[in-house]
Amino acid sequence: MNKDNLPVRSYKGTRDFYPMDMCYRNWYFSKVREVVEGFCYEEYHTPLLEPYEVYAAKSGDEVAGEQLYCFEDKGGRKIAIRPELTPSVARLVAARLEELTFPLRWYSIANVMRYEKPQKGRLREHWQVNVDIFGADEIEAELEIISIISRIMHTFQAKPDMFRIKINNRKFFTDVLTDVLKVKNTDVKTISRIVDKKAKMSQEKYYDWLKETGLTQDKIELLDKIFSSNLEEIIRMIHIDSKGANELSRLFQLLDETGLLRYCEFDFSIVRGFDYYTGTVFEVYDTSPENRRSLFGGGRYDNLVSMFKQRNISGIGFGLGDVTFQHFLEGNDLIPDKIYKSQQVLIARFPDVPVSEYFKLAEDLWSVHVKTSIYFSAHDKLGKQLKFAEKKGYSLVIILGVDELKENKITIKYLDSTTQVTVKRDECAGKIKEFPG
């Protein structure tokens, strides 16, 4: 081996998608797309690069700080590779505020990059399906977003016990901390950061961090008690009229009325790492302990569009990540084998038949959307061509030799069953269309 060869591995934390991987990815995206478009969402797309400032203000210290890919372009501008889509879509909305008819239902499927320590469920490049509503302040928007999530799960044949939609509310979290724990408003953000990471660190480290914020032992114990209480019990601990509590109660009532509650639960530890969330926040988890990272993450944000234009348009939505979702489908055996079979017809070659005849035949099949390719070498034996077809996963091989050409016929070989049939050439496409594979 030449030691100067370049490495064949992709950049750390990114994946190459070979044709087999693309079969899965296209299947997965097309199914999600079908669900989302079924709810009348329209697709948008944004550039991979954005001005750094788009993320600096509200994407939080982790994503916009430690994990941001950031560089200066040749014109001296500070540029970031998108680590997420939400500020970008807010920019698009802000740019056409006057022309757009609200509420908007928009979605996008795009890759994002974060400088993460690669590990199970966390890479440096992943694909997100982002689904957002703009300009709907009603709690019904939350309900719609959660019903899209449950429909996506249903589309992939996921059973209710395979996943949980965990819901909290940022206003409620702040009210509980300031009213029950008497935490200063300025310390809420620091504590929410610690709570957001709670599941990913040791108990000891968690308590140490809380102590560092100035929380006394009594308050830490009270916080533990809050974590082990249900929504009603926590609401009873608050002495103020909490808008967040009212929103949560109403949402859970609607989830109950619509039958979505069986997928959902209240979880006080869901706070989300981004600074822009202002109300409902949620994450969706696989119930398998093997797949610990969230599948979806999202919530309501009121102040993103106003970063660009002096107008408040609220947004609510989620990002669904492809990495953990694939683990979820694999872990539950929900990926059908058939998605990998894409080749259909191989036209075999014989030396004495002009190549134009094969192209004419293929043309008949291409024009009716039968996936067809023509074997390249006319000199290879039929046996070799058939072996190639089997190895590549073709379902059928068409034989058009000198005799068939004279009689204006073709033979179709069914590779699964080793049977074959001879038909007139103009019946070829019809006969192949009858084949279920």
Kindly list the residues in this chain that would bind ligand HAM in the complex (CB under 6 A): 84, 86, 114, 116, 122-123, 126, 128, 130, 132, 294-299, 317-319, 321, 323-324
Find the shortest distance in angstroms from Cβ 81 to ligand HAM. Answer: 13
Kindly give, in sequence order, each residue whose CB lies less than 8 Å from that of residue 146, ignoring residues fewer than 6 positions away. 165, 167, 255, 260, 263, 264, 282
Cis peptide before 47 (omega within 30 of 0): no
How far apart CA 329 and CA 286 sit, in angstroms, is: 10
Find the shortest distance in angstroms from Cβ 330 to ligand HAM. Answer: 15
How far apart CA 348 and CA 364 sit, in angstroms, is: 15
Find the shortest distance in angstroms from Cβ 295 to ligand HAM. Answer: 5
Task: Please answer whether residues 235 and 249 qualify as being in contact, where contact means their C-beta atoms are separated by less than 8 angstroms.
Answer: yes
How far apart CA 216 and CA 220 sit, in angstroms, is: 6
Nearer to ligand HAM, 169 or 294 (CB): 294
Find the shortest distance in angstroms from Cβ 47 to ligand HAM. Answer: 16
Task: Give me the residue whose beta carbon is nearest to ligand HAM.
Answer: 321
Find the shortest distance in angstroms from Cβ 196 to ligand HAM. Answer: 10
AA identity, residue 130 = N
In Å, how far are 50, 66, 80, 84, 116 from 72, measured between CA atoms?
A: 12, 17, 9, 19, 21
Nearer to ligand HAM, 320 or 410 (CB): 320
Q: Which two tokens stand for residue 6?
A: 């370049």
Structure-derived torsion over alpha carbons of residues 299, 302, 305, 311, reported in degrees to the nearest 10? 160
How far apart CA 124 and CA 83 sit, in angstroms, is: 9
Characterize the bridge pairing of strands 345-347 and 372-374: parallel
Nearer to ligand HAM, 244 or 297 (CB): 297
Kindly give, in sequence order, each residue whose CB lies less than 8 Å from that of residue 120, ignoring residues fewer than 6 positions away. 292, 293, 327
Nearer to ligand HAM, 45 or 77 (CB): 45
Find the shortest distance in angstroms from Cβ 300 to ligand HAM. Answer: 8
Find the shortest distance in angstroms from Cβ 217 to ligand HAM. Answer: 32
How far apart CA 275 and CA 187 sit, in angstroms, is: 14
DSSP β-bridge partners for residue 70:
80
Find the shortest distance in angstroms from Cβ 294 to ligand HAM. Answer: 4
Find the shortest distance in angstroms from Cβ 4 to ligand HAM. Answer: 33
Nearer to ligand HAM, 28 or 296 (CB): 296
Nearer to ligand HAM, 222 or 334 (CB): 334
Q: Where are the beta strands (DSSP E) in 135-233?
A: 163-169
The helix (H) or strand (E) run that includes residue 431 is helix 428-434
Nearer to ligand HAM, 135 or 299 (CB): 299
Nearer to ligand HAM, 28 or 318 (CB): 318
Q: How many CB atoms lie within 10 A of CB 310?
A: 8
Nearer to ligand HAM, 128 or 169 (CB): 128
Helices 217-227 and 203-212: crossing angle in degrees, nearest 10, is 130
